[in-house]
Amino acid sequence: MLFELVLAAVVGAVLFLVVNTWRNPNILKTEDGWWGVADKPEGQEDTTIRPFQLSTSDLELEDLHRRMDQTRPVPSLLNSQFNYGFNSEHLEKVISYWRKDFDWRKQIDKINQYPHFKTNIDGLDVHFVHVKPQEVPEGTKVIPLIMVHGWPGSFYEFYGLIPLLTKPSQSGHFVFEVVCPSIPGYGFSEAPHRKGFNSVCAARIFHKLMKRLGFNQFYAQGGDWGWLVTTNMAQLEPRTVTGLHLNFASPSKPGLRITLSLLLGQYFPKLFGFTDLDLKNLYPFTKKVLGELLQETGYMHIQATKPDTAGRALNDSPVGLAAYILEKFSTWTSKDFRNLEDGGLTRKFSLDDLLTNVMIYWTAGCITSSMRFYKENLKDRPPHTRIPVVVPTGFACFPNELMYTPELWVRQKYRRLVSFTRMPQGGHFAAMEEPQLMAEDINKFVKIVESQVKGR
């Protein structure tokens, strides 16, 4: 009898180890961090959620205007357009509008139209927008959705998308309850006070935020850094993230098949599932991919090595800050905009919206801390790059994205890719540029996942 009990215990232990070894290779394991300026206090954590409203003062605006008035223009080269960076002559026009016509108080009212909150997590005051649907028809499911921004964007990127998601979908089966947090060090979230705060740390904080709001399961959406943070969220707790929707993805581990697709894809496109659009955006590879990345990623090298040096200058100069940020909203929307005198800035965005995003960086004083996020994420190869994503994933492929990603490359990382949509237009800041297209694709993706969940 004793032998049988011992044998049963051993068999049970072996089965437990086998099952957990089989289940857990796709789960990212990390430990809690503490990022506050003071040491972690003993005792119970403060989980209070506090309302937050943005405001300004005459003093803040006077200081801004004084700095703008003291800028020293540098003439651009003849016929350089935006090929050397932000065209100086057009920058003067933007600054003139900012100084004389832009109404920050009016934009603050626009920002405050949605409920804002702060709560302390891991020593940091985390800011977030939380919008609940005002109308929920009978039989309609309310689905929580966290949307995470990137650089040099902010929570404000989602302001055109939020009203489209918080109204019942055409099918009438579900509606979204949207949470848009600011990554710590961005916008109105407190910046980390200690080294090492990367995307995984942000993902852990956002998991804690969603649980604090009462959500044990939710969907996640992201582009730019939001892609990596939400991907890490799916890797940390795949059973908590019901579905993941992305509009940006970077191959973190090229592998043999991706390498072969690059070498042979233009000759044997069907072998790798390449479309005409894929071929157009990938070849000739040296020019279309490597050339563009070299031309457009100089900022990344600066921010991944010495963010505090450049950040100090940008934190002191509103004109420099605007040029640095708005140049990305030109070229990353369409590389063809480099050949325009005005950078095509107002072809897809209003100047008020662009300057509102700049003002969030300026008034929060967060440009340096936002740039540090690059150093923390790019200084080594973290474990999450080797872990596939197993939650249902949807991908919106916008043709003018800074780094074009064909379906084959997305599938390598995201093993349950249930939708891949080739968008008719749009670039890097898709949620802000094409909110209608984005809303339609999120609804389509969630409808697929919800039908799969129902069918189980």
Whether the per-residue pLDDT at 192 is higher than 90: the answer is yes
Task: Look at 128-132, 273-277, 327-331, 424-428 and tell me which has the smallest mean pLDDT.
Answer: 273-277
Quote the CA–CA distance of 381 and 385 in Å, as a whole number: 7
Report pLDDT for 289.
Answer: 80
Kindly state the average pLDDT of the residues 415-438.
97
Report pLDDT for 293.
Answer: 84
Whether the per-residue pLDDT at 392 is higher than 50: the answer is yes
418 C-beta neighbours (distance < 10 Å), count: 17
Report pLDDT for 105.
Answer: 98
CB contact at 8 A, 330 and 433: no
CB contact at 8 A, 345 and 86: no
CA dihedral sign of residues 237, 250, 421, 427:
positive
Whether the per-residue pLDDT at 250 is higher than 90: the answer is no
Quote the CA–CA distance of 131 and 162 in Å, as a whole number: 8
> Average pLDDT, whole number, for the chain?
91
Q: Is 249 left (phi over 0), alpha (psi -120 to 50) or beta?
A: beta
* SS3 assignment, position 49: strand
271 C-beta neighbours (distance < 10 Å), count: 12
Report residue 137 as tokens.
Answer: 């028809």
Report pLDDT for 3.
Answer: 39
Peptide bond preceding 284: is omega within 30 degrees of 0, i.e. cis? yes
The DSSP string of 311-370 is HHHHHH-HHHHHHHHHHHHHHTT-GGGGGSTTTTHHHHS-HHHHHHHHHHHHHHT-HHHH
428 is catalytic: yes
The residue among 197, 209, 200, 214 whose CA lies nearest residue 147 is 209
pTM over 0.75: yes
Task: Convert the pLDDT of each residue in 318-344 to its tens digit.
Answer: 999 999 999 999 999 999 999 999 999
374 is catalytic: yes
Task: Convert the pLDDT of each residue in 202-232 to its tens digit.
Answer: 999 999 999 999 999 999 999 999 999 999 9
Task: Convert the pLDDT of each residue in 134-187 to its tens digit.
Answer: 989 888 999 999 999 999 999 999 999 999 999 876 565 899 999 999 999 999
Task: Convert the pLDDT of each residue in 8-26 to its tens digit.
Answer: 443 343 333 333 433 456 7
Report pLDDT for 170.
Answer: 58
Report pLDDT for 21.
Answer: 35
User: Which contacts of 289-294 are long-range, i.e. CB under 8 A and separated by 24 or more positions?
Assistant: 289/403, 289/404, 292/335, 292/402, 293/403
55-455 folds as: Rossmann fold (3.40.50)
Q: In what helix (H) or strand (E) does residue 454 lie, and over which residues does it extend? A: helix 435-455
Whether the per-residue pLDDT at 46 is higher than 80: the answer is yes
The pLDDT-based confidence of 281 (bands split at 50, 70, 90) is confident
Kindly state the average pLDDT of the residues 282-311.
90
Q: Of the listed 324, 361, 428, 441, which one is catalytic?
A: 428
Residue ranges covered by each domain of the chain? 55-455
Kindly state the average pLDDT of the residues 423-428.
96
130 is catalytic: no
Kindly state the average pLDDT of the residues 95-100.
98
Residue that is written with structure tokens 């939001």 in the block: 226
Report pLDDT for 172.
Answer: 59
The residue among 75, 88, 29, 28 whose CA lies nearest residue 319 is 88
Q: Is 34 left (phi over 0), alpha (psi -120 to 50) or beta?
A: beta
List the alpha helices (DSSP H) in 125-224.
Answer: 162-165, 199-212
Quote the CA–CA distance of 326 and 138 in Å, as a whole number: 44
Task: Convert the pLDDT of each residue in 26-36 to its tens digit.
Answer: 799 888 899 99
Residue 146: strand pairing partners: 179, 220
CB contact at 8 A, 413 and 252: yes
Q: Of the listed 122, 173, 224, 324, which one is catalytic?
A: 224
Beta strands, E only, 162-229: 174-181, 218-222
Q: Of the listed 156, 219, 374, 404, which one is catalytic?
A: 374
